[in-house]
Amino acid sequence: MKTVHCSHSGIAGVVLFLVLTGSIAGAQTPDSTTSLEAIQVQAESDSNASVLGFESFALEDVPVSSSSYDHKTLEKNQILRLADLTTLDSSLTDSYNATGYWDMISIRGYTLDNRNSFRREGLPINAETSIPLENKDSIQVLKGLSGIQSGVSAPGGVVHYLVKRPTGKSLLNTRMDINDSGGARVTADAGGTFNENDHVSYRVNAGYEYLSPHLQDAFGHRSMIAAAFDVRLETQGLLQWEIELSKRSQPSQPGMSLLGSKLPEVQNPNLNLNNQTWSQPVNFTAATTTLRYSQPLSEKLNSSFTLGLQSLENNDHLAYPFGCTKDGNYDRYCSDGTFDFYDYRSENEKRDTVAARASLDGQFQTGFVNHSWNVGVMGWKSRERYQKQAYNYVGEGKIDGTATVPSNTTLNDESTDRDADNLQIFTSDAIKWYQATAWFGLSWNGIGRSSVRTDGSRATEYYQSFVLPWAALSYQFESWMAYVSYAEGAESFVTPNRNTYSNPGQFLSDVKSDQYEVGFRGGRGTAWSLALFEIRRPVVTDQAPLYSVDGSDIHRGVEAELSHTIQRWNWNIAGMLLETRREGSMQTPGLNGKRAINIPNSTLRIGAEYLTPWASALSLKARASYEGERAVLADNSMIIPGWVCWDAGAGYKTKWNSIPLKTELLVENVLDKKYWRESPTQYGHVYLYPGADRTFLLSLQAEI
């Protein structure tokens, strides 16, 4: 949900909203019978830290900044795709999020790598696809460096999807959503056991959505079906299998851009420049499955093995605005409001991932010291295969969307096939002595990469290995915890295999990031957390004939969150202050001291829900989301202003023939303001994406 109030008084409005919320909450009379669902589940107690290598710990007990959002929170807040989480989590921001395309987000100011920064059921997946959420039990967001968890990946963090498992009891949930532009979604969630004495239980999820956003020329559809089975064995072991199939077809949305040296105003947020008669949708087809066997070997020793397969097929199409030849600018549109138009088509893209993970975890005690340890190995292989693609100039477009140009489907541009082999050996230990715990983690990562153009040219092949440590010290007070931690992460880069570079085809060694973090969290009744961090990441620059590390990006920040349920009120506040800075550049010294592009310097999310005393089944809610200004260009010569988003809604619970029913109305962008939501640079081109206009959504849910 993205609701905006675009003015410099936005922060004051958010603060006033918070003050009024707290004041009214304090004025209410006690009502011990009233209970509210949480607006946001932050590091919930039943969300374990297996992806961190600590199988026996809850996520909030490990000294790592993290958030966990269960399926009830996702449904309640209309979170239908990963990018929607930016309305709840202050550490997450948009990073080239276009309608109809796969999700791209940044955490702590670093854009996640869709090939390497995503996990599903503990295993690596490729997130260059549309990932449905109907069968997801929760989404874990792990913030900061992720070397020990995921090996080679971007330093922002890791997103971990957990699927809905059988509950061992019969359930049936149905839900229907509609919006004011004709979009509709229907879902079903069913589960149970095959008979009363059977050890086999199941969970099935299905959904279909007709996509009809306010955005013009963006109609589409998507569908998914998923099943999960648990088999409890006589040996006390557990065999789990799940499979998910999904499809999505929808035209994507190219962004607006700078007009020469001018930052344009938002005119029509629903205009889609991908509006030619020959424009085709982007198609995503995905099949993913995992098989897990876990077996206790003794009272304090457990083993598990997980195998995962993912197969993706994409067809990528776009009437593509890119640059301005007549102005000699290829990173923006023309000053007169025109741009170069291309016909882009990439058919039959295939991405396959196979992953396996085996681990042992256990506990033992030496004197007054208790050890909770884990050791394991994980290997995964990814394979990407492409065809020749079309990337053809077809004429001149206009930013008002009135231009008509011919198509050109000639396949005249080569793509690049890629293979990657990864092996990770990891170990961790939590050493507890009274209230103090020392945490250690270490992973050895070996990676092999190869690539070749679809015509057989420019082949590269290389191998690297890294040892990545993580360490923390925490102390558990009566109702809160304090910790300090250090982590390292690594990324892999190879010089383009062209004769215009000094060292074509050679990889860059030791592209390692590091992070220091101090954190506090706790609360009884009121949950709160505070984290201060600094991340240093080497910058790899591409300036032929040089392809090399050139200085660092430094991100320093503080994250805070506070949530509480008091009488008839439930509220949540999350914020982040972030300083980004370029240092040590020798090739472009003019960028030293400049901030990173497309990253807000501050974010704030506030949500409140009120259960009315005059109608106990009626609840009212509101939410505000603030993001500070963003730099559009690397030299910081152009800035888009900050904005505040306002949302409002109501929910009503009743029964029909003993069947619980829940109806919710949600209004996004209550004030219907126009603003630039983000300003990403993608493929060397600056784009501008507007926030959505006012939208009404209605949902009806039945639970049996």
Tens digits of per-residue pLDDT, 221-251? 999 999 999 999 989 999 999 999 999 999 9
Report the percent of the chain where pLDDT is more than 90: 80
Report the percent of the chain where pLDDT is more than 70: 92
- Only one residue has tokens 């923006």, namely 332
pTM, full prediction = 0.92
CA distances in angstroms from 211 to 127, 215, 524, listed in the order given: 21, 10, 42
Cα–Cα distance, 400 to 348 (Å, whole number)? 32
Per-residue pLDDT of 17-28, as tens digits, reads 333 333 333 333
152 pLDDT band, cuts 50/70/90, is confident
Beta strand extents in 117-166 (DSSP E only): 118-120, 123-124, 136-143, 157-163
What single letter denotes the amino acid at residue 536?
A: R
Per-residue pLDDT of 153-189, as tens digits, reads 778 899 999 999 999 889 999 999 999 999 999 999 9
Radius of gyration of the chain (CA): 25
CB-based contact 476:446 (threshold 8 Å):
no
Cα–Cα distance, 20 to 547 (Å, whole number)? 54
Q: Where are the alpha helices (DSSP H) in 195-262?
A: none
CB-based contact 133:287 (threshold 8 Å):
no
Q: In what order do the strands lie in the sheet with 136-143?
A: 66-70, 136-143, 157-163, 118-120, 123-124
Per-residue pLDDT of 541-560, as tens digits, reads 988 898 999 999 999 999 99
Residue 353: closest CA among 129, 79, 621, 593: 129
Cα–Cα distance, 220 to 139 (Å, whole number)? 25
**Percent helix, strand and coil across the chain, each rounded to 5?**
5, 55, 35
Mean pLDDT in residue range 408-431: 95
Cα–Cα distance, 660 to 703 (Å, whole number)? 6
The dihedral formed by the CA atoms of 497, 498, 502 and 504, expressed in degrees to the nearest 10: 10
pLDDT in the model for residue 147: 61
pLDDT of 50 over the 90 cut: no
* DSSP helix/strand/coil, 504: coil
Task: Take residue 226 and report the two structure tokens written for it.
Answer: 């998923």
Residue 108: closest CA among 600, 684, 612, 439: 600
Sketch out the chain's domains with CATH numbers.
10-703 (2.40.170.20)
